[in-house]
Amino acid sequence: MKTSTRYLTRNQFRGLNKIGDAFIPGDQDLPSFSACGCARHADRVLAYLPDTDRQDLKMLLALFRLLPRPFLALLVRFLERAINTPGRIGVLLRLARLGLKGLIMSLYYSGETGEDYTGPSSLAVLGYEVRVYLDDLRP
């Protein structure tokens, strides 16, 4: 099982899985973020971040590795409820929520899974398939 990536150390990778599980804990049908193994594809997203943003994210993920899971669940709940917070602190909270949620959701709903995961992808469970309509191009 892969526990690091080109951009993330083992501890940062674990932090990504922990915060991912706080956003997407899974249920009887959908797997949790960490269970589906989509974090192993994080480099596809991280490669496009500016270096300073990537370094800040890596520091945050390393911190998440150290925090208890219940605290991360409270943090996610707080970020979700703080979207209407006014002022500068509100801007920072919205940016933190957008950045973390964007990374987590992009990976989870990419349809990619880890090599050890044998269940259906989140897209398969939802019955969602992206197709390109080509019938108009055929003679």
Contact 121, 8 (CB under 8 A): no
Task: Please report whether residue 3 resides in a domain.
Answer: no
Distance CA 32, CA 111 (A): 13
pLDDT at 78 over 90: yes
Query: Within a domain: residue 5?
Result: no
Over residues 5-21, the mean pLDDT reads 94
Answer yes or no: is 74 within a domain: yes
Rounded CA-CA distance 87/77 in Å is 20
Please write the tens of the pLDDT for every residue from 17-63. Answer: 999 999 999 999 999 999 999 999 999 999 999 999 999 999 999 99
Residue pointed to by tokens 């526990």: 3
Q: Does the pLDDT value for residue 138 go beyond 80?
A: no
Q: Which of 110, 95, 93, 124 is nearest to 33 (CA)?
A: 110
Is 76 part of a structural domain of the chain?
A: yes
Provide the domain limits for residue 29: 10-137
| Domain-embedded: residue 70 | yes
Mean pLDDT, the chain, whole residue set: 91
pLDDT tens column, 92-115: 999 999 999 999 999 999 989 998
Specify the pLDDT at position 1. 59
Number of domains forming the structure of the chain:
1
| pLDDT attached to residue 45 | 92
**Residue 65 near residue 14 (C-beta atoms within 8 A):** yes
82 located within any domain? yes
Give the confidence band of 136 by pLDDT, cuts at 50, 70, 90: confident
Distance, CA of 51 to CA of 16 (rounded, Å): 18
